[in-house]
């Protein structure tokens, strides 16, 4: 064989496919990393929710302090919020906050920030009593700071404080009592054809009743037994707490009228017109200190507390609800019908 006649073998060429979709690999890697991080965050959040969910029922007096104004942390003023319609739950919340403030030696005074048209007479009275007891047991000053609306029960509770400061646009006053209930007579008898039967031991046993419109005698009875005593209580509370006002002065003002901040100041229902800084100055002066850190109590998220609030907000039509709708409720409330 003539090796010279043979052609040299062609070199072996290896073709490598061009790498494609390299950008997609980077994209999916980023997504994977983010997914892992999100799962870690979610896991930590679930642990926190579970912790506070169990903490809620066990420690209902647990609050977080949020700084409102900087100052020396060894001396604090706490802002307690009284907001919305005053009811039993409102009193409980105020009670717990005052108990925490009373046990904290760093707290030198309290500002009760009021934004409420009032509410249940009994709950308003309990808040008034709780503020008075707090002052007596701790010796710490309490100043009411009114914002927006502080009427009727909102003013009633404020009267327990050492001083009252109101913003210039505040509506207050409405010193008086209101009672409402529903009459289902026409609905039951006229629409549904239901005739209620009431068996009672005495003429006044079911006064007032949801089954018939009240007579003049019934209205007079309700005024004597419910409205008048609760009204007198309100008037005496204001007269006792406002040294500048006599009982006759309060009765003149206690016709249910609302007052602007300026009118309330002129009538000596409040002590000053101003903003939060003015309320802070009042507390510092009463506490005998020059400066303090101002904090506000915030309730941490609690699953139990959230579910409890949701359950209370659900309207259930049952015998208890009908009884509540038909039972008169004595209110210290600025009500617009």
- The single residue of 116, 122, 124, 152 carrying the catalytic annotation is 152
Report how many domains make up the chain: 1
CB contact set of 168 (below 8 Å; sequence gap of 6+): 261, 262, 273, 274
Q: Which residue has the higher pLDDT, 255 or 10?
A: 255
3-state secondary structure the chain: CCHHHCCCCCCCCCCCCCCCCHHHHHHHHHHHHHHHHHHHHHHHHHHHHHHHHHHHHHCCCCCEEEEEECCCCCCEEEEEEEECCECHHHHHHHHHHHHHHHHCCCEEEEEEEEEECEEEHHHHHHHHHHHHHHHHHHCCCEEEEEEEEEECHHHHHHCCCCEEEECCCCEEECCCCEEECCCCHHHHHHHCCCCCCCCCCCCCCCCCCCCCCCCHHHHHHHHHHHHHHHHHHHHHHHHHHCCCCCHHHHHHHCCCCEEEHHHHHHCCCCCEECCHHHHHHHHHHHHCCCCCEEEEEECCCCHHHHHHHHHHHCCCCCHHHHHHHHCCEEEEECCCC
Average pLDDT, the chain: 84
pLDDT-based confidence at residue 110 (cuts at 50, 70, 90): very high
Q: What is the mean pLDDT of residues 44-51?
A: 62
What pLDDT, on a 0 to 100 scale, did the predictor assign at position 197?
75
What's the farthest any 2 CA atoms get from each other in the chain? 141
Bridge pairing between strands 76-83 and 171-173 = unpaired
Over residues 192-206, the mean pLDDT reads: 78
Q: How many CA atoms lie within 13 A of 251 on its CB side?
A: 6
In the predicted model, is pLDDT for residue 271 greater than 80? yes
- Between residues 52 and 227, which one has the greater pLDDT? 227
How far apart CA 176 and CA 172 sit, in angstroms, is: 12
> Is 323 a domain residue?
yes
Do the domain assignments include residue 283?
yes
Does residue 277 carry a pLDDT above 90? yes
| Most confident region among 60-64, 119-123, 210-214, 324-328 by mean pLDDT | 119-123
pLDDT band of residue 209 (cuts 50, 70, 90) is: confident
pLDDT bucket at 27, cuts 50 / 70 / 90 = low
CATH number (domain holding residue 116): 3.90.226.10
152 assigned to active site: yes
For tokens 């419109």, the residue is 213
Domain that holds residue 184: 62-333
Tell whether 174 is covered by a domain: yes
* Rounded distance between C-alpha atoms, residue 81 and residue 141, angstroms: 16
Task: Report the range of poorest mean pLDDT among 53-57, 82-86, 107-111.
Answer: 53-57
pLDDT at 17: 56
In a domain, 38, yes or no: no
Percent of the chain beyond pLDDT 70?
76
Q: For 226-247, what is the mean pLDDT?
A: 96
Q: Given 205, 220, 225, 324, which residue is catalytic?
A: 205
Residue 2 lies in a domain: no
Residue 97 scores a pLDDT above 80: yes
Residue 26: inside a domain, yes or no? no
The closest of 267, 10, 230, 28 to 120, measured between CA atoms, is 230
The pair of structure tokens assigned to 92 is 């409980």
pLDDT in tens, 283-331: 999 999 999 999 999 876 555 554 555 555 555 555 565 555 556 789 9
Respond yes or no on whether the N-terminal peptide bond of residue 7 is cis (omega within 30° of 0).
no
Does residue 57 form part of some domain?
no
Identify whether 205 is a catalytic site residue: yes
For 131-149, what is each residue's pLDDT tens digit? Answer: 999 999 999 999 999 999 9
Which range among 48-62, 165-179, 304-318 has the greatest average pLDDT? 165-179
In a domain, 20, yes or no: no
């Amino acid at each position: 064989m003539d090796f010279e006649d043979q052609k040299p073998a062609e070199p072996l060429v290896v073709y490598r496919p061009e790498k494609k979709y390299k950008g997609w690999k980077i994209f999916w890697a980023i997504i994977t990393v983010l997914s892992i991080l999100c799962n870690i965050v979610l896991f930590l959040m679930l642990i926190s929710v579970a912790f506070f969910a169990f903490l809620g029922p066990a420690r209902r007096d647990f609050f977080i302090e949020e700084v409102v104004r900087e100052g020396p942390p060894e001396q604090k003023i706490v802002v307690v919020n009284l907001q919305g319609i005053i009811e039993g739950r409102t009193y409980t919340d105020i009670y717990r906050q005052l108990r925490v403030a009373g046990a904290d030696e760093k707290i030198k005074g309290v500002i009760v920030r009021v934004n409420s048209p009032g509410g249940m007479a009994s709950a308003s009275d309990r808040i008034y009593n709780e503020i008075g007891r707090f002052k007596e047991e701790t010796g710490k000053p309490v100043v009411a700071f009114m914002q927006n609306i502080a009427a009727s029960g909102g003013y009633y509770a404020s009267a327990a404080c050492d001083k009252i400061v109101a913003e210039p646009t505040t509506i207050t006053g409405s010193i008086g009592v209101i009672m409402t209930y529903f009459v289902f007579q026409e609905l039951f008898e006229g629409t549904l054809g239901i005739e209620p039967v009431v068996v009672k031991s005495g003429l006044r046993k079911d006064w007032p009743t949801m089954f018939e419109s009240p007579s003049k005698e019934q209205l007079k009875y309700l005024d004597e037994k419910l409205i008048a005593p609760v009204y007198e209580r309100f008037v005496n509370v204001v007269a006792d707490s406002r040294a500048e006002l006599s009982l006759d002065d309060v009765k003149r003002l206690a016709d249910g009228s609302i007052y602007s901040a300026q009118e309330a100041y002129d009538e000596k229902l409040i002590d000053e017109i101003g903003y939060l800084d003015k309320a802070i100055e009042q507390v510092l002066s009463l506490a005998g200190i020059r400066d303090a850190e101002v904090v506000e109590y915030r309730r941490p998220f609690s699953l139990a507390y959230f579910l409890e609030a949701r359950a209370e907000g659900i309207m259930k039509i049952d015998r208890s609800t009908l009884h509540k709708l038909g039972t008169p409720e004595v209110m210290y409330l600025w009500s617009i019908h």
